[in-house]
Structure 1
Amino acid sequence: MDSLTTRVFNNGNSQAVRIPAEFRLDTDRVRISRNEQGDLLIQPLRAERGTALLQALQTLNEADSTFVAALESEQALALPVQDREAL
């Protein structure tokens, strides 16, 4: 499914967009930007779920540098931007 039409509504002083179930996000944070054509881009941000665990392991000297580097490189991988047609 390439695109759907959805609803924009006001939420206090902000606008919100209803995201249909087909485009459900697996995160609670997104980055919003505009491209050169003025289209909005919404990029999910990865959750920092393992940060506290990693810090605890480092404190206990249980995580070696190879393990830490592998986790950091995996977190640094950005999700690809999806091309969408403007409505």
Structure 2
Amino acid sequence: MQTKVFQSGNSQAVRIPVDFRFDVDTVEIFKQDNGDVVLRPIPKETQNTFLALFENFDDGFIEALENRENPQIQERETL
């Protein structure tokens, strides 16, 4: 099946026919070694699991991160 490629702002976009419609908000895109471009849906459960990881950090942990002192930048010889 063929479809149209068009400009959307500074990006190139592809019109996806209804038979190939995604049921998710986010897809992974990558190019295979042979040059094929692949779109793979990222399940909502994966997105929710990733976001749920941050719920385990309490306010004290976040505050400690915000208030920590960063080490000084080290001077090194050029390679």
Matched, 1:19 2:16: yes
| Matched residue count | 52
Change (3 A) 1:51 1:16: same
| Matches of 2:36 and 2:9, distance apart in 1 | 23
Match of 1:8 among 5, 12, 30: 5
**1:42 — aligned with what?**
39
Q: Which amino acid aligns with 2:9?
A: G
Query: Of the two, which has the highest radius of gyration?
Result: 2
RMSD: 2.1
TM-score by length of 2: 0.56
| Matches of 1:19 and 1:52, distance apart in 2 | 28
Mark the runs of 5 or more structure 1 residues left unpaired by the alignment.
Answer: 57-87
Instruction: Write out the 4+ residue segments of structure 1 that deviate beyond 3 Å after TM superposition.
Output: 48-53
Give the C-alpha shift of residue 28 in structure 1.
1.2
Mark the runs of 5 or more structure 2 residues left unpaired by the alignment.
Answer: 56-79
